[in-house]
Amino acid sequence: MISRDFTADEMMTIAASRVLSNEDVCFVGIGAPSAACNVARLTHAPDITLIYESGTIGTAPDVLPLSIGDGELCETALTTVSVPEMFRYWLQGGWVTIGFLGAAQIDRFGNINTTVIGDYAAPTVRLPGGGGAPEIASASREVYITMKQSTRGFVETIDFYTSFGHGEGGDHRQRLGISTKGPSLLVTDLGIWRPDPQTKEFTVVSLHPGVTRQDMQDTVGWQVRFAPELEQTVAPTVLELEVLRDLKARTKAAHEGAARGAD
């Protein structure tokens, strides 16, 4: 049953979760990607294999982790391996079907910045950095990205190349010797984007319920391209919303309890 009561953030998370399947081995980023991947695991893809950067494989957290070092990941994983083994064997070995990443800045070709805003030597904001995201972006078979739209985040030119997407577009990845598919999906709070097969410029293929073309353009720093046959994203079901909200509620209670215990 479809629900009419949902937020833009909930629509983004649920839309992102739907693209995952039982067969996927997914390298999960913290934050919005983690929420989407775990909603998929708790609904239509119970056999998905979730991998986190700390070396946890087949993890099934009851609450969303605060970081890759959250004990919840190791406690619920099928196994935990060393970080070098995770990257050298699992990621670079080609076992990861999907790298699911977030971003602070993104451009039209799916290049990601999570390092600095402004000049690197004297930044306006210093961000958490890439961590393993640069390797995930190049070695995963393909990359999914999820983030909220804003003119600060969707920019003509990113301030720093943390994770390489499609570079200047076209066959730039192949010219650099990167054989993986790269960013193939972008899910935001307003819609769903896919790269053009030739140019690799991200194109809007679906608008979330109630979102207009102008809404998309107003939150993006370049001229937006729309698919000829623009779709509307299916609204969340009651079950999807219940699973997401229960997960968020458990997470909030667990983290608030941990904070009180540390006082």
139 CB-contact burial (10 Å; exposed 0-12 / middle 13-18 / buried 19+): buried
In one letter, which amino acid is 148?
A: K
In one letter, which amino acid is 129?
A: G
Beta bridge partners of 51: 27, 57
CA distance 106 to 123: 17
Give the 3-state DSSP-derived string for 203-259, with helices as H, strands as E and coil as C.
Answer: EEEEECCCCCHHHHHHCCCCCCCEEEEEEECCCCEHHHHHHHHHHHHHHHHHHHHHH
| Catalytic residue, candidates 10, 23, 53, 156 | 53
Q: What is the helix (H) or strand (E) element at residue 17, kind and residue range?
A: helix 8-18
CA neighbor of 154 nearest in space, from 223, 74, 92, 208: 223
CA distance 48 to 22: 4
Q: Check if 53 is active-site.
A: yes
Beta bridge partners of 126: 116
Find the largest Cα–Cα distance for the chain: 56
Q: Which residue has the tokens 């210093």?
A: 126
DSSP state of 88: I
CA neighbor of 107 nearest in space, from 199, 181, 179, 31: 199
Active-site residue numbers?
53
